Amino acid sequence: MRTVVFLLLIITSPASFASMLVLGDSLSAGYGIEQDRGWVNLMRERLKNSGYTLEVVNASVSGETTSGGLSRLPGLLETHQPSLVLIELGANDGLRGTPLEIVRANLQQLVELSQSAGAKVLMIGNRLPPNYGPQYTQAFFGLFEEVAQQKQTALVPFLLDGVASDWDLMQDDGYHPRAEAQPKILDTVWSNLEPLLAP
């Protein structure tokens, strides 16, 4: 009796993700600049040019808080079923002086919901202006690393690293980066994102 063996070779693209969800605030929504020049859109273009075929869903909303993101995330996960979630929230909580235990709990739930849906998570941290006092600002900055370590997620420590300190790259309000800063922001995110894209 002759046995015939078929060998099936499946050639895939570099990406193993169907979609990526960006859940952020005005820093990811492209506040004050043309939408196509924001770092999320630049990331979409870089992914395409690098051979990744995943869809990028930018669900960022200006003024969004961790509580607001938490209320929207279940529906976004159900609709888009992302394999990777970028969480860039917390800055507006900090600017409003939200108690840190609330911010921490919300960030933890955002990560848990994403992971429970089968997605990898990239936590994106931020800093507050120094006028909020060293005790609060330092503890706030430390929240992101704390949650990332606890939940074993990848981490971008500071989204505006090298940008927030350069006034030529910031808009007049001092909070939002100009279009010229967006490629630098993307580079900051990309160095932590790229390892997650490996098949």
User: Domain extents for the chain?
Assistant: 19-197
Q: What does the alpha-carbon distance between residue 61 and residue 48 come to, in Å, rounded to a whole number?
A: 24
Known catalytic residue at 187: no
| Backbone phi, psi, residue 152, to 5° | 55, 55
Does the pLDDT value for residue 99 go beyond 70?
yes
Mean pLDDT, all residues of the chain: 92
Query: Please, what sign has the CA dihedral across residues 104, 107, 109, 115?
Result: negative
**Res 13 pLDDT > 50:** no
Structural contact between residues 151 and 111, judged by C-beta atoms closer than 8 angstroms? yes
Helix (H, G, I), strand (E, B) or coil at 121: strand
- pLDDT, residue 170, reads 98
Question: pLDDT band at 198, cuts 50/70/90?
Answer: confident
Residue 35's pLDDT is what? 86
For residues 155 and 141, give the distance between their C-alpha atoms in angstroms, rounded to a whole number. 12
- The per-residue b/e assignment along 46-68, b for 16 or more CB within 10 angstroms, e otherwise, is bbeeeebebebbbbbbeebbbbb
Whether domain 19-197 has CATH 3.40.50.1110: the reply is yes
Of 19, 26, 62, 67, the catalytic one is 26
User: What pTM was estimated for this model as a whole?
Assistant: 0.90
pLDDT for 19 beyond 80: yes
Is 189 within 8 Å of 45 (Cβ atoms)? no
Q: What is the mean pLDDT of residues 110-128?
A: 98
Per the model's pLDDT, the better-predicted residue between 51 and 12 turns out to be 51
pLDDT, mean of residues 164-193: 97
> Which residue in the list 93, 172, 176, 187 is annotated as catalytic?
176
CB-based contact 9:72 (threshold 8 Å)? no
User: What is the share, in percent, of the chain residues with pLDDT greater than 90?
Assistant: 87
Identity of the residue numbered 100:
L
Q: Does 22 score more than 70 pLDDT?
A: yes
> CA 88 → CA 1, 7, 27, 62, 172, distances in Å?
62, 44, 8, 12, 22
Mean predicted confidence (pLDDT) in 86-100: 97
Tokens of 63: 């003024």
**pLDDT higher for 67 or 4?**
67
- The predicted pLDDT at position 199 comes to 66
* Residue 188: its H or E element: helix 182-197
Judge whether 173 counts as a catalytic residue. Answer: yes
Residue in the block written with tokens 């007049």? 172
pLDDT attached to residue 66: 98
Catalytic residue among 116, 168, 172, 173: 173
- % of the chain surpassing 70 pLDDT: 91
Rounded mean pLDDT, 137-159: 98
Return the pLDDT at 125. 98
26 an active-site residue? Answer: yes
